[in-house]
């Protein structure tokens, strides 16, 4: 790739002196990045053999602000550009796909970095002795933690990549890789808006963190995937309805036994789902969201397709008569995990009339 002529405001000769910055902040930046500032954006793009236009697209996709032509980039920035451009030149990724890789990585790691600083490093960098400043503690702490956190991040990423690749390989055809039949669920805290007016900010933050942590642990433990958290709501998915049903009921049961938690409601649907950049989209997702909004407190509502899937796989009976017969033949046991009760039909905005089913645990 060749470097385009820069626009007037991106002149390679325009190298303004950097603003006065905290010397410790610069030292920590250099420690984390592994090299010192050497390049303006134009110089970095030229060294990587990438056009300034494409370099800007990559940087913005990664979530980095425009910096004009300040000398703020390092060898690591050049190497990252060279690698992305190399994948495009080798035909392994299209340019659009390379930008998507940059965007998904940037968005994910930005949230991770913010979380680690807010919830982890801030607490650890409280001065251990009177008279010490936080800045005197931060550098040696980062120096010790950096290699350990980096190795752990790569380990978790590899495990997640292996799991995601396995799901793709097991897909029946190419279309199923993108448009798949999944069970999708939302879990929503009831009365969260009222809580925001009543609780102090710190209390509210602790409640949200406890909810998200509990939900994430339950979803993972039972074989689901946490798609995202939205403060008072979590979105999860599972490959089959039985797994999702267990997760939904476990969430209700766990939160009910926690007196500090508000009531919870869960809505789930089963059907074709489009997956993009770790998120899920489509009518099935919209239906699960609508079911959540109309679910009774501390209850799980599912759509007809979800109920049919549980019946098809033998997780729930088609009728109470069938359940009674199966239990009699099984000498009083409960051969079904779940019970389904049809609820009132009602119109749902944008989705027409739906008939929700109340999902409970059998026996």
Q: Which long-range contacts (CB under 8 A, 24 or more apart) does 135-142 make?
A: 135/24, 138/24, 138/28, 139/24, 139/27, 139/28, 139/31, 142/28, 142/31, 142/32
Q: How far apart are CA 123 and CA 139, in angstroms?
A: 14
Return per-residue pLDDT of the chain as tens, 363 residues. Answer: 444 444 434 344 444 444 456 777 888 888 889 889 999 999 999 999 999 999 999 999 998 888 888 899 999 999 999 999 999 999 999 999 999 889 888 888 888 888 887 766 666 666 666 776 766 777 888 888 889 999 999 999 999 889 878 877 775 555 555 568 999 999 999 888 777 777 777 778 888 888 888 999 999 999 999 999 888 899 999 999 999 999 999 999 999 888 888 899 999 999 999 888 778 899 999 999 999 999 999 999 999 999 999 999 989 988 776 666 666 666 455 678 999 999 988 777 778 788 899 999 986
Task: Give which of 279, 267, 165, 260 is closest to 213, Cα–Cα.
Answer: 260
- pLDDT, tens digit (0-9, with 9 covering 90-100), for 287-341: 999 999 999 999 999 999 999 999 999 899 887 766 666 666 664 556 789 999 9
DSSP letters along 15-79, please? -PPPPP--HHHHHHHHHHHSS---B-HHHHHHHHT--HHHHHHHHHHTTPPP-TT-S-B-HHHHH
Q: How far apart are CA 49 and CA 52, in angstroms?
A: 9
Q: How far is CA 210 from CA 203, 206, 254, 261, in A?
A: 11, 6, 12, 9
- pLDDT, tens digit (0-9, with 9 covering 90-100), for 204-242: 888 888 888 899 999 999 999 999 988 889 999 999 999
Q: pTM score > 0.85 for this model?
A: no
The percent of the chain in helix, strand and coil, each rounded to the nearest 5, is: 55, 15, 30
User: In the numeric block, which tokens belong to residue 106?
Assistant: 């940037």
């Amino acid at each position: 790739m060749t470097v385009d002529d820069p626009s007037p405001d991106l002149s390679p000769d325009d190298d303004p002196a950097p603003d006065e910055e905290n010397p410790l902040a610069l030292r920590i930046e250099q420690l984390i990045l592994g090299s010192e500032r050497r390049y303006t954006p134009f110089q970095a793009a030229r060294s990587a053999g990438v056009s300034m236009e494409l370099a800007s697209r990559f940087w913005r996709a990664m979530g980095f602000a425009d910096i004009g032509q300040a000398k703020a980039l390092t060898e690591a920035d050049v190497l990252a550009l060279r690698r992305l451009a190399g994948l495009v030149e080798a035909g392994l990724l299209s340019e659009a796909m390379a930008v998507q890789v940059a965007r998904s990585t940037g968005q994910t790691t930005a949230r991770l970095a913010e979380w680690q600083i807010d919830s982890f490093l801030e607490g650890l960098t409280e001065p251990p002795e009177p008279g010490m400043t936080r800045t005197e503690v931060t550098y040696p702490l980062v120096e010790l933690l950096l290699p350990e956190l980096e190795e752990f991040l790569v380990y978790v990423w590899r495990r997640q990549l292996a799991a995601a690749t396995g799901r793709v390989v097991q897909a029946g055809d190419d279309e199923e890789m993108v448009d798949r039949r999944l069970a999708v669920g939302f879990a929503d805290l009831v009365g969260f808006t009222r809580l925001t007016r009543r609780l102090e900010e710190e209390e509210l933050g602790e409640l949200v963190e406890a909810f998200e942590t509990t939900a994430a642990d339950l979803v993972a433990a039972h074989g689901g995937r946490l798609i995202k958290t939205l403060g008072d709501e979590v979105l999860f998915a599972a490959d089959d309805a039985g797994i999702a049903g267990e997760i939904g009921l476990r969430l209700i049961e766990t939160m009910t036994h926690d007196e500090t938690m508000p009531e919870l409601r869960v809505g789930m649907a089963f059907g074709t789902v489009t997956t993009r950049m770790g998120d899920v989209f489509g009518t099935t997702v919209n239906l699960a969201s609508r079911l959540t909004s109309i679910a009774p407190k501390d209850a799980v509502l599912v759509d007809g397709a979800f109920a049919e899937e549980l019946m098809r796989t033998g997780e729930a009976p088609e009728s109470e008569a069938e359940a009674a017969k199966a239990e009699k033949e099984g000498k009083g046991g409960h051969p079904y995990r779940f019970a389904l009760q049809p609820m009132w039909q009602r119109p749902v905005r944008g989705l027409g009339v739906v008939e929700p089913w109340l999902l409970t645990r059998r026996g």
